[in-house]
Structure 1
Amino acid sequence: MINSNHPIENLMGTTMENIRDMIDVNTVVGDAIETRDGSYIIPISKVSFGFASGGSELPNKECEKIDDRFAFGGGSGAGVSVKPVAFLVLKGDSVRLLPVNQTNTYDRIVDNIPQIIEIFKDMGIKKCKDKKEDSNFCD
Protein backbone atom coordinates (compact mmCIF):
# COMPACT_ATOMS: atom_id res chain seq x y z
CA MET A 1 0.00 0.00 0.00
CA ILE A 2 1.37 3.43 -0.97
CA ASN A 3 1.56 6.12 1.73
CA SER A 4 -0.53 9.12 0.60
CA ASN A 5 1.38 11.63 2.76
CA HIS A 6 3.75 14.02 1.09
CA PRO A 7 7.39 13.58 2.18
CA ILE A 8 7.47 17.08 3.75
CA GLU A 9 4.63 16.02 6.09
CA ASN A 10 6.74 13.10 7.28
CA LEU A 11 9.74 15.40 7.88
CA MET A 12 7.69 17.89 9.87
CA GLY A 13 5.91 15.18 11.85
CA THR A 14 9.16 13.49 12.87
CA THR A 15 10.74 16.81 13.89
CA MET A 16 7.74 17.85 16.00
CA GLU A 17 7.62 14.46 17.74
CA ASN A 18 11.28 14.78 18.68
CA ILE A 19 10.75 18.30 20.05
CA ARG A 20 7.79 17.06 22.11
CA ASP A 21 9.96 14.30 23.57
CA MET A 22 12.69 16.80 24.55
CA ILE A 23 10.52 19.32 26.39
CA ASP A 24 7.85 18.67 29.00
CA VAL A 25 6.21 20.71 31.74
CA ASN A 26 9.10 19.91 34.13
CA THR A 27 11.40 21.88 31.84
CA VAL A 28 9.44 25.11 32.39
CA VAL A 29 8.53 24.56 36.05
CA GLY A 30 11.20 22.31 37.52
CA ASP A 31 10.95 19.76 40.28
CA ALA A 32 10.72 21.12 43.83
CA ILE A 33 13.91 20.97 45.89
CA GLU A 34 13.49 20.67 49.67
CA THR A 35 16.03 22.53 51.81
CA ARG A 36 17.17 21.72 55.35
CA ASP A 37 14.89 24.33 56.93
CA GLY A 38 11.79 22.77 55.32
CA SER A 39 11.32 25.33 52.57
CA TYR A 40 10.94 24.36 48.93
CA ILE A 41 12.64 25.94 45.92
CA ILE A 42 11.09 25.50 42.48
CA PRO A 43 13.06 26.65 39.42
CA ILE A 44 11.12 28.41 36.64
CA SER A 45 12.55 28.66 33.12
CA LYS A 46 11.71 30.31 29.82
CA VAL A 47 11.62 27.86 26.90
CA SER A 48 11.94 29.12 23.31
CA PHE A 49 11.47 27.07 20.16
CA GLY A 50 12.58 27.57 16.60
CA PHE A 51 11.43 25.34 13.77
CA ALA A 52 12.15 25.30 10.03
CA SER A 53 11.23 22.89 7.31
CA GLY A 54 11.44 22.94 3.55
CA GLY A 55 11.47 20.78 0.51
CA SER A 56 11.49 20.74 -3.23
CA GLU A 57 10.23 18.51 -6.00
CA LEU A 58 12.65 18.63 -8.88
CA PRO A 59 11.55 17.23 -12.20
CA ASN A 60 14.33 16.29 -14.56
CA LYS A 61 14.18 15.87 -18.31
CA GLU A 62 15.60 12.38 -17.98
CA CYS A 63 13.64 11.48 -14.85
CA GLU A 64 10.08 10.31 -14.98
CA LYS A 65 7.53 10.72 -12.23
CA ILE A 66 7.57 7.90 -9.72
CA ASP A 67 4.12 7.06 -8.40
CA ASP A 68 2.80 10.39 -9.75
CA ARG A 69 5.52 12.32 -7.91
CA PHE A 70 8.77 13.97 -8.84
CA ALA A 71 12.05 13.37 -7.03
CA PHE A 72 11.88 15.03 -3.60
CA GLY A 73 14.63 16.72 -1.59
CA GLY A 74 13.97 18.30 1.78
CA GLY A 75 15.06 18.90 5.31
CA SER A 76 13.90 20.18 8.65
CA GLY A 77 15.46 21.38 11.84
CA ALA A 78 14.60 22.75 15.23
CA GLY A 79 16.26 24.59 18.06
CA VAL A 80 15.34 24.81 21.72
CA SER A 81 16.59 27.31 24.28
CA VAL A 82 16.02 26.93 28.03
CA LYS A 83 16.82 29.96 30.20
CA PRO A 84 16.26 30.11 33.98
CA VAL A 85 14.25 33.21 34.90
CA ALA A 86 13.26 32.82 38.56
CA PHE A 87 12.98 30.63 41.62
CA LEU A 88 9.74 30.18 43.54
CA VAL A 89 10.50 29.83 47.27
CA LEU A 90 7.85 28.30 49.54
CA LYS A 91 8.44 28.50 53.30
CA GLY A 92 5.54 27.88 55.65
CA ASP A 93 2.76 30.30 54.63
CA SER A 94 5.17 32.51 52.67
CA VAL A 95 5.63 32.38 48.89
CA ARG A 96 8.36 34.47 47.22
CA LEU A 97 9.44 34.81 43.61
CA LEU A 98 13.17 35.49 43.24
CA PRO A 99 14.09 36.66 39.72
CA VAL A 100 17.47 35.51 38.42
CA ASN A 101 18.50 38.69 36.60
CA GLN A 102 17.44 41.31 39.12
CA THR A 103 20.07 44.00 38.70
CA ASN A 104 18.30 47.13 39.91
CA THR A 105 18.48 47.91 43.65
CA TYR A 106 15.05 49.57 43.59
CA ASP A 107 13.51 46.43 42.09
CA ARG A 108 14.96 44.39 44.93
CA ILE A 109 13.56 46.77 47.54
CA VAL A 110 10.08 46.73 46.00
CA ASP A 111 10.12 42.94 45.70
CA ASN A 112 11.10 42.55 49.37
CA ILE A 113 8.46 44.94 50.81
CA PRO A 114 6.06 42.09 51.75
CA GLN A 115 8.81 40.32 53.70
CA ILE A 116 9.82 43.57 55.43
CA ILE A 117 6.20 44.23 56.45
CA GLU A 118 5.97 40.67 57.81
CA ILE A 119 9.13 41.23 59.90
CA PHE A 120 7.79 44.48 61.39
CA LYS A 121 4.41 42.88 62.04
CA ASP A 122 6.08 39.98 63.88
CA MET A 123 8.17 42.47 65.90
CA GLY A 124 5.00 44.38 66.86
CA ILE A 125 3.23 41.21 68.01
CA LYS A 126 6.25 40.25 70.12
CA LYS A 127 6.35 43.71 71.74
CA CYS A 128 2.63 43.46 72.53
CA LYS A 129 3.18 40.17 74.31
CA ASP A 130 6.13 41.62 76.24
CA LYS A 131 4.28 44.80 77.29
CA LYS A 132 0.90 43.57 78.50
CA GLU A 133 0.57 46.48 80.93
CA ASP A 134 0.41 49.10 78.14
CA SER A 135 -2.91 48.24 76.45
CA ASN A 136 -2.88 51.35 74.18
CA PHE A 137 0.36 50.20 72.57
CA CYS A 138 -1.17 47.01 71.15
CA ASP A 139 -4.41 48.46 69.72
Structure 2
Amino acid sequence: MEQHPIENLMKTTLENIKDMIDVNTIIGNPITTPDGTTIIPISKVGFGFGTGGSDLPMPENATSTVKPNLFGGGAGAGISIKPVAFLAVREDAIRLLPIDHNNSYEKIIDSIPQLVETFKGMFGKDEN
Protein backbone atom coordinates (compact mmCIF):
# COMPACT_ATOMS: atom_id res chain seq x y z
CA MET A 1 0.00 0.00 0.00
CA GLU A 2 1.32 3.40 -0.97
CA GLN A 3 2.06 5.92 1.79
CA HIS A 4 -0.19 8.95 1.98
CA PRO A 5 1.70 12.26 1.48
CA ILE A 6 0.78 13.46 4.98
CA GLU A 7 2.81 10.60 6.48
CA ASN A 8 5.94 11.88 4.73
CA LEU A 9 5.16 15.42 5.87
CA MET A 10 4.83 14.31 9.52
CA LYS A 11 7.97 12.19 9.33
CA THR A 12 10.02 15.09 7.93
CA THR A 13 8.71 17.46 10.61
CA LEU A 14 9.55 15.08 13.48
CA GLU A 15 13.01 14.34 12.09
CA ASN A 16 13.79 18.07 11.93
CA ILE A 17 12.59 18.60 15.50
CA LYS A 18 14.73 15.67 16.63
CA ASP A 19 17.77 17.25 14.99
CA MET A 20 17.17 20.55 16.82
CA ILE A 21 16.84 19.09 20.34
CA ASP A 22 19.41 16.94 22.06
CA VAL A 23 20.38 16.25 25.66
CA ASN A 24 22.70 19.28 25.68
CA THR A 25 19.64 21.50 25.24
CA ILE A 26 18.24 20.38 28.62
CA ILE A 27 21.46 19.75 30.55
CA GLY A 28 23.94 22.26 29.17
CA ASN A 29 27.66 21.88 28.71
CA PRO A 30 29.56 22.25 32.00
CA ILE A 31 31.51 25.44 32.61
CA THR A 32 34.55 25.31 34.92
CA THR A 33 35.48 28.50 36.75
CA PRO A 34 39.08 29.41 37.72
CA ASP A 35 38.42 28.42 41.37
CA GLY A 36 37.50 24.87 40.32
CA THR A 37 33.72 25.16 40.56
CA THR A 38 31.82 23.44 37.77
CA ILE A 39 28.53 25.07 36.76
CA ILE A 40 25.99 23.09 34.73
CA PRO A 41 22.96 24.95 33.28
CA ILE A 42 19.61 23.16 33.37
CA SER A 43 16.73 24.19 31.10
CA LYS A 44 13.10 23.28 30.58
CA VAL A 45 12.29 22.47 26.98
CA GLY A 46 8.82 22.32 25.49
CA PHE A 47 7.87 21.79 21.91
CA GLY A 48 4.84 21.23 19.78
CA PHE A 49 4.11 20.61 16.16
CA GLY A 50 1.19 20.47 13.85
CA THR A 51 0.74 18.89 10.47
CA GLY A 52 -2.27 19.04 8.20
CA GLY A 53 -3.29 18.49 4.67
CA SER A 54 -6.02 17.64 2.28
CA ASP A 55 -6.51 15.60 -0.85
CA LEU A 56 -7.50 18.03 -3.58
CA PRO A 57 -10.25 17.39 -6.12
CA MET A 58 -9.41 16.62 -9.72
CA PRO A 59 -9.60 19.79 -11.87
CA GLU A 60 -12.76 19.92 -13.99
CA ASN A 61 -10.83 20.59 -17.20
CA ALA A 62 -8.49 17.58 -16.77
CA THR A 63 -8.46 15.31 -19.79
CA SER A 64 -6.22 12.55 -18.44
CA THR A 65 -7.78 9.22 -17.53
CA VAL A 66 -5.08 8.70 -14.86
CA LYS A 67 -6.12 10.31 -11.60
CA PRO A 68 -3.24 12.46 -10.31
CA ASN A 69 -2.46 12.39 -6.60
CA LEU A 70 -3.25 16.00 -5.75
CA PHE A 71 -2.38 16.89 -2.17
CA GLY A 72 -1.86 20.17 -0.34
CA GLY A 73 -0.36 20.28 3.13
CA GLY A 74 1.84 22.07 5.58
CA ALA A 75 3.62 21.66 8.89
CA GLY A 76 4.82 23.91 11.65
CA ALA A 77 6.70 23.58 14.90
CA GLY A 78 7.52 25.68 17.92
CA ILE A 79 10.14 25.23 20.61
CA SER A 80 10.43 26.93 23.99
CA ILE A 81 13.65 26.82 26.03
CA LYS A 82 13.56 28.29 29.55
CA PRO A 83 16.57 28.19 31.88
CA VAL A 84 15.40 26.93 35.28
CA ALA A 85 18.50 26.29 37.40
CA PHE A 86 22.24 25.87 37.65
CA LEU A 87 23.96 22.90 39.27
CA ALA A 88 27.12 24.06 41.05
CA VAL A 89 29.70 21.37 41.88
CA ARG A 90 32.65 22.29 44.06
CA GLU A 91 34.94 19.74 45.72
CA ASP A 92 32.54 17.70 47.88
CA ALA A 93 29.51 20.02 47.72
CA ILE A 94 26.75 20.09 45.12
CA ARG A 95 24.11 22.83 45.08
CA LEU A 96 21.09 23.36 42.90
CA LEU A 97 20.62 27.08 42.30
CA PRO A 98 17.11 27.67 40.93
CA ILE A 99 16.60 30.80 38.87
CA ASP A 100 13.02 31.44 40.00
CA HIS A 101 12.04 31.26 43.69
CA ASN A 102 8.28 31.72 43.29
CA ASN A 103 7.37 28.43 44.93
CA SER A 104 7.65 28.06 48.74
CA TYR A 105 8.42 24.35 48.41
CA GLU A 106 11.39 25.17 46.18
CA LYS A 107 12.71 27.57 48.84
CA ILE A 108 12.44 24.89 51.53
CA ILE A 109 14.09 22.20 49.41
CA ASP A 110 16.86 24.60 48.37
CA SER A 111 17.63 25.47 52.01
CA ILE A 112 17.90 21.83 53.21
CA PRO A 113 21.61 21.41 52.30
CA GLN A 114 22.47 24.63 54.15
CA LEU A 115 20.53 23.45 57.24
CA VAL A 116 22.30 20.08 57.18
CA GLU A 117 25.69 21.81 57.02
CA THR A 118 24.69 24.10 59.91
CA PHE A 119 23.58 21.20 62.11
CA LYS A 120 26.65 19.19 61.16
CA GLY A 121 28.80 22.11 62.25
CA MET A 122 26.91 22.51 65.53
CA PHE A 123 26.94 18.86 66.57
CA GLY A 124 30.11 17.70 64.87
CA LYS A 125 32.49 19.73 67.08
CA ASP A 126 34.46 17.99 69.81
CA GLU A 127 34.22 19.75 73.14
CA ASN A 128 37.18 18.98 75.46
1:26 alignment partner, one of 14, 17, 24: 24
Q: Any stretches of 5+ residues in structure 2 without a counterpart?
A: none
**Residue in 2 aligned with 1:111?**
110
Pairwise CA RMSD: 2.5
How many residue pairs get matched?
126
Distance in 1 of aligned mates of 2:64 and 2:55: 10
- What aligned pairs does 1:58-97 form with structure 2 within 5 A after superposition? 58-60=56-58, 61-63=60-62, 68-97=67-96
In the TM superposition, what is the alpha-carbon distance from 1:101 to its structure 2 partner?
0.7
1:10 correspondence with 2:13:
no
In the TM superposition, what is the alpha-carbon distance from 1:120 to its structure 2 partner?
4.9
In the TM superposition, what is the alpha-carbon distance from 1:62 to its structure 2 partner?
3.1
User: Compared with structure 1, are the counterparts of its residues 15 and 105 closer, same or farther at alpha carbon in structure 2 (3 Å cutoff)?
Assistant: closer
1:64/1:70 contact within 8 Å kept:
no
TM-score scaled by length of structure 1: 0.75
Distance in 1 of aligned mates of 2:64 and 2:53: 17
- Structure possessing the higher relative contact order (Cα contacts under 8 Å, 6 or more residues apart): 2
Q: Any stretches of 5+ residues in structure 1 without a counterpart?
A: 135-139
| 1:36 match: secondary structure | coil
TM-score scaled by length of structure 2: 0.80
Identity of counterpart residues, as a percentage?
A: 56
